Structure 1
Amino acid sequence: MTAAARKRKPADKGAAVFDRELEDLPQELRWREWMGRIEAVLFASGSPVGREDLARVVGQGASVDMLIDDIQAELVGRPYELAEVSGGWMFRTKTQFADAIKAAADLGEQSLAFTEMEMGVLCAIAYHQPIDRAGLKDIFGKEVSRDLLARLRFKDLITSGPRSPRPGAPHSFVTTATFLTTFDLQSLRDLPELDLAVGNVGDITRAAQV
Structure 2
Amino acid sequence: MTGSGSTRGKRQPKKGEGGEGLFDRELADMPPALRWREWMLRVEAVIFASSEPVTRDVLARVVGTDCSLDLLIDDLREELRDRPYELVAVAGGWQHRTRPRFSEAIRASAAPTRAPAAALSEFESMVLMAIGYFQPVTRSALSDIFGRTVSRDTIASLRSAGLIASGPRSPTPGAPYTYVTTKQFLSAFGMQTLRDLPDIEAMEEAGLLSRQAVQEEAMAAVVEGEEE
Which TM-score tier does this pair reach, normalised by the shorter chain?
0.7 to 0.9
Q: CA RMSD in A?
A: 2.0
Structure 2 equivalent of residue 22 of structure 1: 27
Q: Secondary structure at the match of 1:172?
A: strand
Deviations 1:174-209 (A, max 9, x none): 11111111111111111111132376x9xxxxxxxx
Structure 2 equivalent of residue 160 of structure 1: 166
TM-score (norm 1): 0.84
Structure 2 equivalent of residue 191 of structure 1: 197
Identity of aligned residues (%): 54
Deviations 1:47-82 (A, max 9, x none): 111112111101112111111111010011111001
Structure having the higher Rg = 2
Pairs within 5 Å for 1:111-126 = 112-126=118-132
Structure 2 equivalent of residue 137 of structure 1: 143
Distance 1:90 1:63 in 2: 18
Equivalent residue in structure 1 for 2:178, among 167, 172, 187 = 172
Equivalent residue in structure 2 for 1:63, among 52, 60, 68 = 68
Structure 2 equivalent of residue 4 of structure 1: none
Structure 2 equivalent of residue 31 of structure 1: 36
TM-aligned CA deviation for residue 111 of structure 1: 5.1
Structure 1 equivalent of residue 51 of structure 2: 46
Structure 1 equivalent of residue 85 of structure 2: 80
Equivalent residue in structure 2 for 1:148, among 149, 154, 163 = 154
Structure 2: which 5+ residue stretches go unaligned? Answer: 1-12, 209-228
Deviations 1:115-138 (A, max 9, x none): 101101101111111111110110
Structure 1 equivalent of residue 5 of structure 2: none
Amino acid in structure 1 at the alignment position of 2:68: S
Residues 114/82 of structure 1: CA separation in 2 closer, same or farther (3 Å cut):
same
Residues 40/133 of structure 1: CA separation in 2 closer, same or farther (3 Å cut):
same
Structure 1 equivalent of residue 9 of structure 2: none
Note if contact 2:162-2:184 (Cα within 8 Å) is conserved in structure 1.
yes
Moved segments of 4+, more than 4 Å: none
Residues 157/17 of structure 1: CA separation in 2 closer, same or farther (3 Å cut):
same
Note if contact 2:117-2:188 (Cα within 8 Å) is conserved in structure 1.
no
Distance 1:191 1:95 in 2: 19
TM-aligned CA deviation for residue 106 of structure 1: 5.7
Pairs within 5 Å for 1:105-116 = 105=110, 110=116, 112-116=118-122
Matched residue count: 190
Deviations 1:145-201 (A, max 9, x none): 1111111001110000111121101001111111111111111111111132376x9
Distance 2:96 2:67 in 1: 21
Note if contact 1:180-1:188 (Cα within 8 Å) is conserved in structure 2.
yes
Distance 2:140 2:14 in 1: 59
